[in-house]
């Protein structure tokens, strides 16, 4: 039973990577074939597939489990089904695959414009993450504190809050 969770995570990661390659390899191969047949620009192909390659490489390096000679899990890798950065990497992969499918079917590179949404989304998320930090550094109050003062004491108080307010003015016993 020892190490069951790491074995399970290693198997899950292997399955996720297998499904990833089953989706990526054929579409990129078809896109490459279309490039060769239409005598397209190799530079454009490299630039447009750069984000896809970087994301797949990152997912592979961080999520691929490592086994020892006996087949035991040496390192299970990062959980590839977690939210956060891993989820964003998969989103970039899916957007690139969408663009590849559009390129293969319709023969236009305009589907790659959807990759322009990635930096916009990252900037939006970075702004949302940095806003509380900037508010603290600037000496200003956070938006939550501003909303709290706007609401005021109009909200209902819990029993515990009411009891603390009643007992706040009572004299305390002093021990020597």
**pTM for the full predicted model:** 0.70
**Cβ neighbours of 141 (radius 10 Å):** 13
Structure confidence at residue 107 (pLDDT): 86
Structure confidence at residue 146 (pLDDT): 57
Structure confidence at residue 57 (pLDDT): 97
Q: Is the pLDDT of residue 110 over 70?
A: yes
**Cβ neighbours of 100 (radius 10 Å):** 25
Complete DSSP assignment for 30-94: HHHHHHHHHT--HHHHHHHTHHHHHHHHHHHHHH--EE-TTS-EEE----TT-SSHHHHHHHHHH
Interatomic CA distance for residues 78 and 98, integer angstroms: 26
Interatomic CA distance for residues 43 and 74, integer angstroms: 40
Interatomic CA distance for residues 169 and 78, integer angstroms: 54
What are 34-67's pLDDT values in tens digits?
988 988 889 989 999 999 999 999 999 999 999 8
* Separation of first and last alpha carbons in the chain: 58
């Amino acid at each position: 039973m020892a190490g069951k969770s790491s074995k399970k995570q290693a198997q899950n990661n292997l399955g996720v990577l297998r499904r990833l390659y089953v989706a990526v390899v054929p579409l990129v191969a078809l896109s490459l074939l279309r490039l060769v047949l239409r005598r397209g620009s190799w530079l454009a192909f490299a630039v447009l597939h750069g984000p896809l390659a970087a994301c797949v490489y990152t997912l592979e390096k961080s999520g691929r489990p490592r086994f020892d000679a006996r087949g035991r899990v040496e390192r299970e890798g990062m959980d590839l089904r977690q939210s956060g950065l891993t989820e964003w990497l998969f989103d970039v992969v899916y957007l690139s695959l969408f663009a590849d499918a559009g390129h293969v079917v319709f023969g236009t590179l305009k589907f790659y414009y959807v990759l322009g949404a990635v930096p916009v989304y990252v900037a939006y998320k970075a702004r949302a993450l940095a806003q509380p930090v900037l508010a603290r550094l600037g000496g200003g109050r956070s938006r939550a504190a501003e909303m709290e003062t706007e609401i005021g004491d109009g909200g209902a108080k819990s029993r515990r809050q009411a009891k603390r307010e009643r007992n706040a003015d009572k004299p305390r016993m002093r021990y020597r």
